[in-house]
């Protein structure tokens, strides 16, 4: 199977749409300053969050700076996003390199796509933002030190919408072997905590304390669980690919792990993949959303 990270991000859109906490999102709407807005999204991937905010009607007038470290993501975004925008009825102009202007009768959003490590980007001292977005990203960073650096991107009193922060629960049903299932889940979470670049398998709950330490006021918080399940034996949209990619994450993270029997793990992966192919697997990941004022 061909594993493409940009396609995984595309496949994840419908799952994130369901997962994002509506109470936190309504708090974001209620607390946004008048537009035009300056928005910075870190770990922006291929631009699916901006596409969502345009679909949901949150942005009308904005300068949107999307930052991602992976060249594969930014290259894909520069190709995919204009095509998506045209299909949704937006006019697309190219005012400069890696820049798009998206407009119609009501909206005028200027997008700049930047390929950079987020901490290197912060050192360039970009203009301060009204809103910082970090989607499915903070649990990959060293905490709590990263927060004060990220918040330096904001104007005084600026908002940060911090979404889909993993919080220590992965569930795959039905069970293959309860003891083996539990061992694999535990070891998988441990790999998140052991990443040299940082990471926290319980980032969601820990953010309650970390955000206060970083001088942020929590305006709203709530769960944003991924819940993927078949309906009538079929997964909606491209969610079959999403599930196969999740199993790919498991394989890459745990292959050769000294505490895991290789044959048992290979059999477990094969059975989980068969469950996906048959439309039998349900997947849950517990996560948290936050809206804060800095």
Arithmetic mean of pLDDT, 250-269: 97
Q: Model confidence over 43-56: pLDDT tens digits? A: 999 999 999 999 99
Does residue 1 register a pLDDT over 90?
A: no
Q: Model confidence over 268-292: pLDDT tens digits? A: 999 999 999 999 999 999 999 999 9
What residues contact residue 97 under an 8 Å CB cut-off, 6+ apart? none
What residues contact residue 1 under an 8 Å CB cut-off, 6+ apart? 244, 248
Residue 269 parent element (H or E): helix 262-277
Arithmetic mean of pLDDT, 161-181: 97
Pairing, β 99-103 against β 61-68: unpaired
Specify the pLDDT at position 196.
84
Instruction: Pick the closest to residue 177 from 50, 264, 245 (CA basis).
Output: 264
**Range 5-167+197-227+284-293 classified under CATH 3.30.70.360:** no
What residues contact residue 182 under an 8 Å CB cut-off, 6+ apart? none
Q: Model confidence over 211-242: pLDDT tens digits? A: 999 999 999 999 999 999 999 999 999 999 99
Q: Is the pTM of this model over 0.75?
A: yes
Q: Is 146 left (phi over 0), alpha (psi -120 to 50) or beta?
A: alpha
The C-alpha angle 206, 208, 209, rounded to 5 degrees, equals 75
Specify the pLDDT at position 11.
98
Specify the pLDDT at position 197.
84
Q: Where are the domains of the chain?
A: 5-167+197-227+284-293
10 Å Cβ neighbour count for 233? 8
Specify the pLDDT at position 235.
98
Give the whole-number percent of the chain exceeding pLDDT 90: 98
Supply the mean pLDDT for the chain: 97
Q: Do 204 and 167 touch, CB atoms closer than 8 A? A: yes
10 Å Cβ neighbour count for 171? 14
Arithmetic mean of pLDDT, 1-25: 97
Q: Do 222 and 21 touch, CB atoms closer than 8 A? A: yes
Specify the pLDDT at position 195.
87
Specify the pLDDT at position 82.
96
Specify the pLDDT at position 198.
87
What residues contact residue 158 under an 8 Å CB cut-off, 6+ apart? 128, 129, 130, 131, 132, 151, 293, 294
In this prediction, residue 185 has a pLDDT band, given cuts at 50, 70 and 90, of very high
Instruction: Pick the closest to residue 191 from 250, 145, 137 (CA basis).
Output: 250
């Amino acid at each position: 199977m061909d594993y493409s990270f940009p396609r995984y991000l595309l496949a994840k859109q419908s799952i994130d749409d369901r997962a994002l906490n509506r109470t936190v999102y309504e708090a974001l709407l209620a607390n946004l300053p008048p537009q035009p807005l300056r928005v910075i999204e870190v770990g922006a991937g291929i631009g699916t969050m901006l596409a969502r905010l345009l679909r949901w009607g949150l942005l009308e007038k904005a300068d949107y700076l999307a930052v991602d470290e992976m060249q594969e993501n930014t290259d894909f975004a520069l190709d995919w996003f204009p095509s998506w925008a045209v299909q949704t009825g937006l006019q697309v102009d190219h005012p400069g390199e890696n820049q798009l202007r998206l407009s119609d009768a009501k909206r005028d959003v200027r997008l700049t796509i930047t390929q950079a490590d987020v901490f290197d980007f912060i050192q360039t001292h970009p203009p301060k933002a009204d809103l910082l977005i970090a989607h499915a990203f903070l649990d990959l960073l060293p905490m709590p030190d990263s927060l004060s650096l990220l918040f330096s991107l904001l104007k005084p009193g600026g908002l940060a919408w911090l979404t889909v922060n993993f919080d220590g629960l992965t569930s795959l049903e039905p069970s293959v072997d309860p003891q083996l299932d539990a061992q694999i889940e535990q070891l998988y979470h441990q790999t998140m905590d052991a990443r040299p670049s940082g990471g926290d398998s319980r980032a969601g709950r820990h953010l309650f304390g970390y955000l206060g330490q970083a001088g942020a006021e929590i305006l709203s918080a709530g769960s944003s669980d991924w819940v993927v399940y078949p309906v009538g034996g079929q997964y909606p949209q491209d969610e079959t690919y999403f599930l196969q990619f999740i199993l790919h994450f498991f394989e890459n993270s745990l292959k050769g792990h000294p505490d895991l029997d290789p044959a048992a793990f290979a059999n477990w992966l094969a059975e989980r993949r068969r469950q996906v192919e048959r439309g039998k697997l349900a997947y849950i990941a517990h996560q948290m959303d936050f809206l804060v004022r800095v």
